Amino acid sequence: MALKLVTAATAPLVTLAEAKRHVHAEDFIDDDAYLEALVATATAHIDGASGWLGRAIGSSVWQLRLDCFPCERINIPLPPLQDVTELAYTATDGTSQTVTDFREFGVGSANGQGFILPAYDEEWPDTRDDQPEAVRITFTAGYSTIPVQVKHALLLLVGDWYRNRENASEIKLNEMPRGVDALLYPLRFWG
């Protein structure tokens, strides 16, 4: 299984203005680039395929690649699932084909993992045996409105990293500041 980001979320999860207000630097522009980098780093720390939450936070497009179809359902990673936009595969004759008739479950569910099944009374088609990643599922995942606890956790991370720039601090910088995991833990996806 391989997971590839096709289109990242277009808007930052936390704006520069929000970050500046949080660290009390509204009238100070010298650290703008640094604050934007901290927001990007904090976002990468929790969001997406390698993020701590195991979810897509901002609306983004992904492609899940499998070597073949499973017997039954295909779990779509990175909840919440918004939509499966394409289900393509390499057929046994080597041609690229598209499955248009499948069932989607969990679309719009913020808590559960979405998945797809073949159409009723159908099976997934056969794929070419010698073709790695023969199944390609393109989907959109993420929240249409960022949960307030995610925004606040990101601001706490940015604020902590802004104030503790050196790793010689008494605080262990590889640990999340107090309160961040409490805010994020209920949203963490373990699937």
pLDDT in tens, 152-190: 999 999 999 999 887 655 655 556 677 898 999 999 988
**Is the residue at 3 inside a domain?**
no
Same domain assignment for residues 92 and 154: no
Name residue, tokens 């897509």: 56
Same domain assignment for residues 133 and 158: no
**Is the residue at 128 inside a domain?**
yes
Same domain assignment for residues 41 and 98: no
Pairing outcome for strands 81-90 and 74-76: unpaired
Same domain assignment for residues 154 and 135: no
| pLDDT of res. 179 | 87
| pLDDT of res. 170 | 60
Same domain assignment for residues 110 and 162: no
When pLDDT is cut at 50, 70 and 90, the band that residue 58 belongs to is: very high
CATH code of the domain covering residue 182: 1.10.3230
pLDDT above 70 coverage of the chain, percent: 94
Which pTM does this prediction carry?
0.88
**Is the residue at 167 inside a domain?**
yes
- Domain of residue 85: give its range: 60-141
Work out the mean pLDDT of the chain and round it to a whole number. 91
**Is the residue at 4 inside a domain?**
no
| pLDDT of res. 56 | 95
| pLDDT of res. 172 | 56
Same domain assignment for residues 72 and 105: yes
Same domain assignment for residues 67 and 137: yes
**Is the residue at 154 inside a domain?**
yes
Domain count, the chain: 2
Same domain assignment for residues 161 and 134: no
Residue at which a domain ends, from 141, 157, 174 = 141
**Is the residue at 65 inside a domain?**
yes
pLDDT above 60: residue 141? yes
Same domain assignment for residues 86 and 129: yes
Same domain assignment for residues 37 and 24: yes
Same domain assignment for residues 49 and 64: no
Same domain assignment for residues 67 and 134: yes
| pLDDT of res. 174 | 55
